[in-house]
């Protein structure tokens, strides 16, 4: 028996399982994400100006000032598409965010044009004009991929001339103050 749209809205809004999105800044001495060990089973809260359920396509669209929170992670965007499979209940498979995606953890902030979270693979990807900040440290590029299983974060610059990165990854890192002149 398929759930009717109202039931799907409640299930998606209150029972989304898995992290929605996240960013991690690669530190100068490590490529580990601070998200390794993130509680991907924590409840997810979603709010938006509007929701549209497309039951036959097994997806729901959250539009306008979308805010998502899971545990200590937050996501802000203008549009979020939630792809799910029906059957014995709603099972979220993929989240796609578009429109100035901003993801925050307690120690990091990631920005990009588009965000994709594959819940089955526990893989988060930010695309387009990616910027990652941890304190005063910043890394920019065209694509960020975070593997939540291993905690590995990889940033690449993409093809030359396509994005602001010019095909390169750039970074600025703080160094400790040292004595002397």
What is the CATH number for 86?
2.60.450.10
Which residues does 121 contact at the CB level (< 8 Å), separation at least 6? none
Which ranges of the chain does DSSP label H, i.e. alpha helix? 5-15
Q: With respect to residue 17, please indicate whether it lies within any of the assigned structural domains.
A: yes
Cβ–Cβ under 8 Å, residues 90 and 114:
no
**63 lies in some domain:** yes
**What does pTM read for this prediction?**
0.76
What confidence score (pLDDT) does residue 24 get? Answer: 34
Residue 45 located in a structural domain: yes
Determine, yes or no, domain membership for 178: no
Tell me how far apart the alpha carbons of residues 60 and 48 are, in angstroms, rounded to a whole number. 12
137 within domain boundaries: yes
Cβ-contact 20, 75 below 8 angstroms: yes
Determine, yes or no, domain membership for 180: no
Residues 6+ apart with CB under 8 A from 167: 142, 157, 158, 159, 160, 161
CA angle 129, 126, 136 (to 5 degrees): 65
**Ranges of the chain with pLDDT below 70:** 1-38, 41, 88, 160-166, 180-181
pLDDT digits over 61-100, tens only? 999 999 988 788 788 999 999 888 877 677 778 889 999 9
Which residue range(s) make up the domain with 58?
5-172
Task: Let me know if residue 142 belongs to a domain.
Answer: yes
Does residue 54 fall inside a structural domain? yes
Total domains in the fold of the chain? 1
């Amino acid at each position: 028996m398929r759930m009717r749209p109202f039931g799907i809205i409640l299930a998606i809004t209150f029972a989304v399982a898995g992290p929605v999105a996240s960013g991690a800044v690669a530190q100068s001495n490590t490529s580990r994400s601070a998200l390794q060990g993130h509680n991907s089973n924590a409840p997810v809260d979603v709010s938006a100006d509007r929701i549209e359920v497309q039951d036959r396509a097994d997806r729901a669209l959250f539009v306008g000032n979308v805010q998502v929170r899971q545990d200590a992670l937050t996501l802000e965007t203008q549009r979020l598409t939630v792809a799910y499979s029906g059957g014995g209940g709603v099972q979220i498979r993929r989240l796609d965010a578009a429109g100035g995606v901003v993801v925050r953890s307690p120690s990091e902030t990631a920005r990009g044009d588009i965000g994709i979270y594959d819940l089955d693979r526990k893989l988060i990807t930010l695309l387009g004009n990616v910027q990652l900040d941890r304190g005063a440290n910043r890394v920019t590029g065209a694509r960020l991929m975070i593997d939540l299983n291993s905690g590995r974060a990889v940033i690449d610059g993409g093809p030359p001339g396509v994005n602001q990165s010019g095909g390169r990854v750039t970074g600025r890192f703080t160094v400790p103050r040292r004595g002397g002149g």
